[in-house]
Structure 1
Amino acid sequence: MGMELPSALTIRLLTPPAWRKRVVDNTRERIAAEVRDLAPDASAVKKVNQQAAFQPFALRLMWMQLGPRTVRLPDGAAEIWLAPESLRHTGLYHDEDELTLCFAFGLIGHAQQLRSPLLATVDSPFQHERGWSGRAAVPFVGGHATWGGTQIATKILGRIPHEDGKSRQGQSLQSRFWGKLFGPMRKATFEDPLTFFDQVIEGTDAEPGLGIERFNGVWADIECFPTAEEMSNPRQWLKRVRPLLGDER
């Protein structure tokens, strides 16, 4: 993928309560840091804190759907947090293809963060203040992780993941319920963008792609991140960003 990984990466296997506590504590720490750095309007802070107060309840209900979590701590440490019990709920515990994909996605996430300090604030609750407003940053970052992770998993497995067409087995009823509810949102974030990356990196007969090396230049400049409209129109995005990347084609 043309991107380096951190020199050290910790994978923590946690019980569900410990996983939830780490996620909640990390969210609170990040909000506090954003408030210190940005000094946002008091009403905005109140709204964000109200949303954060709901997080423990939400995680208690649907933690098993969230899988490995890519985290970069304030001291720069790179970690992946995983509750193995979530893999049992979702029927992935013995699924080699899915396990390989999950950790490949996580590794791409850390490579993205190492390449782009910008991504430290991509999920900031204060999107306008951080300059992310109007950018389709979540599907761009998530879709790229899926695109790259799939390529890595294919090399590791020696075949395309799930090429046999078999669906996962052994999902719990709770996991099935939350999966149906949030499935469309996850699909829009991680799967729908795949066509975009195929076109902008590898190219088509009608429009050459950027290639991996030139594409990776996007991580240095927030102006290179696409809008929602551009995510649906790769040629429009390419036309705008080629000059920014020094590609005058």
Structure 2
Amino acid sequence: MTTDIHIDNQAGLRHAELAGRLKTIVDRCAPEVAGAVGMELPSALTIRLFTPRTWRKCVMDNMRERVAAEIRDLAPDESAAKKVNQQVAFQRLSLRLVWMLLGPRTVRLPDGTNEIWFAPDSARHAGRYHDEDELTLGFAHELIHPAQQLRSPLLATVDSPFAAERGWAGRAAMPFIEGHATWGGMQIATKILGHTPHEDGKPSESRSLQSRFWTKLFSPMRKARYEDPLTFFDQVIEGTDADPGLGIECFNRVWSDIECFPTAEEMSNPRQWLTRVRPLLAETDPAARLGDER
């Protein structure tokens, strides 16, 4: 299926050239998503470029709307609601400090659709503004998130502040989701570029002092969420000599059952996760259910 991708540049004319380059990049990456992760993108997708201030405001407005909807739906007690609203206020301060670390971001809108929001000035701080390898890798990664959301209605609540009430308590959902996007994005970017991104290990541009400071501070956290899970996906999807993987089609049954999502311990022990979920994945196999009916 072809996806109509629209770039809405609200960041100003100085980023018009970048908007054109991004359109070329995402138009090349989008058709590769299905082959890399076995998922389709929605028929239409908007990528909005914002100034840093507008990006922060839009992200916070979206976060407040989603939290307010969760409070309305779940009706937690007053102390729990107050605590969650305090966490939202802290996020506002956090974004003001570290926005330059955050690249393209998939956002779920109130109507259930997704957009990708991006502040081009973050790429300047990170030394990625003119770096085709990094831009391709970043947007290849991000394009997988709308495909995940389309495949799995469960993900509508994955970022809920009420994890226990939504069934996500104890699940390593974010490393799983982000690691999966990193795994698939690397495949897409390597195919598009014709080489592994930055295979020489040398970034093409220098980073700002702020970006270097915050990157160093948050590097362990980012590595745990985005890079460390790569080994997990290599083993559970592609397999090893000792233990064949699930393959894409079987693996993607995970997205229909929260019980199939790994715990933090299982993310570090792929064989343990495979042992637990193989029977669960068999239960979600339509062919297996048809066989039972026969």
Q: TM-score range by the shorter chain?
A: over 0.9
Q: Matched residues in 2 for 1:8 and 1:90: separation?
A: 29
Q: Matched residues in 2 for 1:57 and 1:165: separation?
A: 33
**From 53, 69, 72, the counterpart of 2:105:** 69
1:85 aligns with 2:149: no
- Give secondary structure in 1 for the equivalent of 2:110: coil
Q: Structure 2 matches for 1:95-174, cutoff 5 A?
A: 95-167=131-203, 169-174=205-210
In the TM superposition, residue 59 of structure 1 has moved relative to its aligned partner by 1.0
In the TM superposition, residue 42 of structure 1 has moved relative to its aligned partner by 1.7
Q: Matched residues in 2 for 1:159 and 1:213: separation?
A: 26
In the TM superposition, residue 168 of structure 1 has moved relative to its aligned partner by 5.0
Q: Which of 180-189 and 154-163 deviates more?
A: 154-163
In the TM superposition, residue 120 of structure 1 has moved relative to its aligned partner by 1.0
**From 82, 88, 94, the counterpart of 1:46:** 82
Match of 2:281 in 1: 245
Match of 2:18 in 1: none
Q: Which of 43-52 and 239-248 deviates more?
A: 239-248
- Give secondary structure in 1 for the equivalent of 2:164: helix
Match of 2:42 in 1: 6
Match of 2:262 in 1: 226
In the TM superposition, residue 76 of structure 1 has moved relative to its aligned partner by 2.6
- Give secondary structure in 2 for the equivalent of 1:11: strand
Match of 1:34 in 2: 70
Match of 2:223 in 1: 187
- Give secondary structure in 1 for the equivalent of 2:144: helix
Q: Matched residues in 1 for 2:145 and 2:76: separation?
A: 28
Instruction: Give me the TM-score of the superposition, normalised by structure 2.
Output: 0.82
- Give secondary structure in 1 for the equivalent of 2:107: strand
Maintained 8 Å contact 1:139/1:190: yes
In the TM superposition, residue 116 of structure 1 has moved relative to its aligned partner by 0.4
Q: Which of 8-17 and 239-248 deviates more?
A: 239-248
- Give secondary structure in 2 for the equivalent of 1:176: helix
Greater radius of gyration (CA): 2
- Give secondary structure in 2 for the equivalent of 1:3: coil
Q: Matched residues in 1 for 2:67 and 2:204: separation?
A: 36
- Give secondary structure in 1 for the equivalent of 2:53: helix
Maintained 8 Å contact 1:91/1:170: yes
Match of 2:211 in 1: 175
Higher RCO (CA-CA < 8 Å; seq separation 6+): 1
1:208 aligns with 2:244: yes
1:57 aligns with 2:93: yes
Count residues in correspondence. 248
**From 58, 67, 78, the counterpart of 1:22:** 58
Query: What letter matches 1:11 in structure 2?
Result: I
**Consecutive unaligned residues in structure 1, runs of 5 or more:** none
Q: Which of 11-20 and 47-56 deviates more?
A: 47-56
Instruction: Please list the CA deviations of residues 23-63 of structure 1 after superposition, one character each: whole Å capped at 9, or x if unmatched.
Output: 00001000001011111122111111011112222111110
Maintained 8 Å contact 1:8/1:78: no
